[in-house]
Amino acid sequence: MMFKIDNELYSLITLFIFLAVIPQFLSIYNVRLLSVGLLYGLAAVGFNLLYGYTGLLSFGHAMFWSAGAYGLAIGLVKLNLDPLMSILLAFTLTFTVAIVTGYLSLRHTEIYFAMLTLAFAQLIYALIIKLRDITGGDEGIYGIPRFPSDIGGYYYLIYIIVFILVILAWWIVRTPLGLGFQAVRDNPYRAEALGLDVRRVRLISFVLSGFYLSIAGMLYAPLNRAITPDIAFWTFSAIIVIMTIIGGSKNVLGAFIGGLIFIYINTQAMNLTEFWQLTLGIILALLVYLAPYGIVGIFERVLRYVRGG
Amino acid sequence: MSEAVKYVLEASELHKWFGNVHAVNNVSLKLSRGEILSIVGPNGAGKTTLLNLLSGIVKPDKGRVYVYLNGDRKDITGRSPYYITFLGVGRSFQIPNIFDGLTVRDNIRLSILTYRRLINRFNRAYSSFNDVEEEVEKIIEIFSLEDSEYRYGRELSHGERKKLDIALSFAQQPNILLLDEPTSGLTYSEKLEMVELIRSLRREREVSFIVVEHDLDVVREVSDMLMVMHEGSVLAYDEPDEVVKMSEVISAYLGGEVI
């Protein structure tokens, strides 16, 4: 048999059926919020291929989101390219950033890797601010065309692409390549001794993960019709890390749920208090202490309890 | 039998310094097909460093290491562990070195998929390669890991971790296995089981072994050849019974901390 249907896939498909139906009952504002939720979910799943599965904590993944968003926006708005060429430009930009930063930062692991990715991401942020003619500097790029132009229609474009990529991630971690990721995460020295090319595996995971973020960014730019450099700032990299941990880094489902609900936690926190970062901080701290495997981890524990395991 | 057919591994005049410490001092050895060579000696004698030199984890400062492949002697000095593994030299580690986040089955699958160069594939599930699965079954049976095949590495007992560590190397069909203290931390009955396992692995696939041990009693029976190391040098290298007779050894090693 080519693959086994497991609980995680059932949960993902159930969730996606829900996500296909729910916009019919939501206001435009909420469909828009849910669209961002899908993109955050996609970003968290991509980030988690590197973090949860390959064991590398990147603190600079905002650079891939912005490589995608800026690449597409520059192509469409500044260079007047057609959509296909703009997408190609965004992919080329992402690939270049991923290969160069990956090659340079993957010489190290753990905190050194995190710091290097942070440094490269800030470098990209500085470039975006400085290259005013191309990127619009701190004003960003406005008037990015959207197709389909209504939010309701665009939601389903996002939905289809996110669905495919999330299922692809679920698939990849079940192939030999994904098993290699996990081996490198658990014990890179042993993996090397068994003949696995650890640096290559890490680079593949890094680039793959970068492409997930880039595609999320590429879908985000038209959704918002405008982009500003804050999507390249380090705080956005931190948000990507936080939402993955909130959902649970153990599997694809956890990361996706983390990204999906993060936008709601964030908006609710902002409505409740102006100290929304504090609220977010408390939620995160509680989760790390009480539920190291995130929200999905809590569900699993409850399920096991109910089944009497 | 010609030299090339008889031997599988050779080291000649290996030296390694760590700062001022002469960790390995002029060690030479030749390993025959199917031979079990045991290396004993007190802590700090250079046993583990010698294994690291042979498996490429540490580069020697002087001397060469050769493997024999299809009748040719091949110089592997200074080559990467990755390369040496593919030439049929596997090793296990003193502290069991396994994948804690993977099940026993997935640990072994990983080893076989890597060895068969299928590890970069992403068009099929890693559990869908029939010949790999057959091999996994065989390894689980040989190492008696049936009861724990679906448990995660982090859930295993020390003895099971030791076995899995060796199984990971054995799964790559090595000609030579370098084992670093395979019985350390095991109970007496587990030690006997491990010795029996090493014997059966040799029977099964004519693997040659270099076994680093602390415990002379464990290896005396199972070894074809015995090397005693002390402060980086070879004190004795002969058949076990001959070695035990040597007074020099008895004073330096047996008289020291074992008896």
Closest to A125 in 3D by CA, of A80, A74, A65: A65
CA dist., res. A64 & res. A232, Å (int): 8
Per-residue confidence (pLDDT) for residue B81, from 0 to 100: 83
Residue A1 has pLDDT above 50, yes or no: no
C-alpha distances (whole Å) from A20 to each of A24, A26, A82, A210, A258 are: 9, 12, 29, 26, 18
Average pLDDT value for residue range A291-299? 82
Burial of residue B116 (CB within 10 Å: 0-12, 13-18, 19+) is middle
Chain A residue nearest residue B97, CA to CA: A190
Per-residue confidence (pLDDT) for residue A271, from 0 to 100: 79
pLDDT tier for residue A169 given thresholds of 50, 70 and 90: very high
User: Which residues of chain A lie closer than 8 angstroms to B119, CB-CB?
Assistant: 176-177, 179-180, 196
User: Which residues of chain A lie closer than 8 angstroms to B106, CB-CB?
Assistant: 179, 182
Residues in Cβ contact with B48 at an 8 Å cutoff, skipping those fewer than 6 apart: B94, B180, B212
Average pLDDT value for residue range A176-180? 97
Choose from A5, A51, A174, A190 for mutation: most chain B CBs within 10 A: A190
Per-residue confidence (pLDDT) for residue B94, from 0 to 100: 81
Q: Would you say A56 and A109 are in contact if contact means Cβ atoms under 8 Å apart? A: yes
Helices A276-290 and A252-272, axial angle in degrees (round to 10): 140
The interface predicted TM-score of the complex, written ipTM, equals 0.88
Cβ contact B81–A193 (<8 Å):
yes
If interface means Cβ-Cβ distance under 8 Å, which residues of chain A face chain B? 1-4, 171-172, 174-180, 182-183, 185-187, 189-197, 204
Per-residue confidence (pLDDT) for residue A270, from 0 to 100: 78
Domain residue limits, chain B: 3-98+156-258
Q: Reduce the secondary structure of B112-149 to three states and give it as a string.
A: HHHHCCCCCCCCCCCCCCHHHHHHHHHHHHHCCCHHHC
- The answer to whether B246 faces chain A, any CB pair under 8 Å, is no
Q: Amino acid identity, residue A168? A: L
User: Which residues of chain A lie closer than 8 angstroms to B100, CB-CB?
Assistant: 186-187
Q: Would you say A124 and A97 are in contact if contact means Cβ atoms under 8 Å apart? A: yes
pLDDT digits (tens, 9 = 90+) for A57-78: 999 999 999 999 999 999 999 9
Per-residue confidence (pLDDT) for residue B245, from 0 to 100: 78
pLDDT digits (tens, 9 = 90+) for A8-45: 999 999 999 999 999 999 999 999 999 999 999 999 99
Per-residue confidence (pLDDT) for residue A187, from 0 to 100: 95
- The answer to whether B99 faces chain A, any CB pair under 8 Å, is yes
pLDDT tens, per residue, chain B with 259 residues = 555 568 999 999 999 999 999 999 999 999 999 999 999 988 888 999 999 999 988 999 999 999 998 888 999 998 988 888 889 999 888 888 999 999 999 999 999 999 999 999 999 999 999 999 999 999 999 999 999 999 999 999 999 999 999 999 999 999 999 999 988 888 888 888 888 899 888 888 889 999 998 777 778 888 999 998 988 999 889 998 888 777 566 666 655 544 3
Sheet with B72-75, edge to edge strand ranges: B21-32, B7-18, B62-69, B72-75
CATH architecture assigned to B3-98+156-258: 3-Layer(aba) Sandwich (3.40)
C-alpha distances (whole Å) from A97 to each of A140, A197, A263, A267, B60 are: 20, 22, 27, 31, 39
Cβ atoms within 10 A of the Cβ of A290, count? 9
Per-residue confidence (pLDDT) for residue B4, from 0 to 100: 53
Query: In angstroms, what separates the C-alpha of A15 from chain B's closest C-alpha?
Result: 23
pLDDT digits (tens, 9 = 90+) for A202-254: 999 999 999 999 999 999 999 999 999 999 999 999 999 999 998 988 899 99
Q: Would you say A199 and A94 are in contact if contact means Cβ atoms under 8 Å apart? A: no
Choose from A8, A175, A199, A250 for mutation: most chain B CBs within 10 A: A175
Nearest to A177 among B82, B106, B121 (CB): B121
CA dist., res. B15 & res. B50, Å (int): 9
Per-residue confidence (pLDDT) for residue A2, from 0 to 100: 44
Helix (H, G, I), strand (E, B) or coil at B69: strand
Distance of CA A91 to the CA centre of its chain: 16
Best-predicted range by mean pLDDT (A158-167, A188-197, B202-211):
A158-167
What would the two tokens of residue A61 be?
């993944």
Decide the pairing of beta strands B89-91 and B176-180.
Answer: parallel
Nearest to B86 among A175, A180, A195 (CB): A195
**Residue listed under structure tokens 């096991």:** A304
pLDDT digits (tens, 9 = 90+) for A77-116: 999 999 999 999 999 999 999 999 999 999 998 899 999 9
**Residue listed under structure tokens 């999905």:** A296
Q: Would you say B58 and B16 are in contact if contact means Cβ atoms under 8 Å apart? A: yes
